[in-house]
Amino acid sequence: MQVFRIGLAKYANGLNASGRAARWNPNDIETIYTAASRSLACLENVVHRNQIGLNQSFKVMTIEIPDDLYILSVELKKLPAGWTEFQHIPITQKIGEEWIGEAKSAILRVPSSIINAEYNYLINPLHPDFKSVKLLKVDTFIFDKRIKV
């Protein structure tokens, strides 16, 4: 399976995690966020950046997750109502922190908080199976100027 990550060009030459807090991880818990499609990866960036931030130099990373690699999933029905709202971020961060800590899989499939019925894939760079996840290619990515005009 191929997944996609759009990031600043200066950080796109490897599969690295910043350890900065996000929806599915608290600070100092390294998690690599990817999306099931380039378009979802684009939208995930757009909701977190303003127009000026979208004018920087970006790359889209194509990442290969082996088909036989076990993927753990977060079931939408097990999340609280309104889980996408800011006040529920500690709940989703705890789920991600436990996933990293328990090391049951290198990949965690999570529902997108912006597109219903689509998914993001988190990668645990500390899991032993991480070595089988491959960065296939890195291409220039330019956000259309009509976004966030």
* CA atoms of 34 and 11, how far apart (whole Å): 14
Note the pLDDT tens digit of each residue in 85-118.
Answer: 999 999 999 999 999 999 999 999 999 999 999 9
Q: What is the pTM of this model?
A: 0.94
Note the pLDDT tens digit of each residue in 41-76.
Answer: 999 999 987 776 787 899 999 999 999 999 999 999
| Whether 144 contacts 26, CB under 8 Å | no
Q: For the chain, how long is the longest CA-to-CA vector? A: 43
Domain boundaries, the chain: 2-141
| Whether 98 contacts 25, CB under 8 Å | no
Beta bridge mates, 4 = 35, 62
Structure tokens given for 133: 């996840």
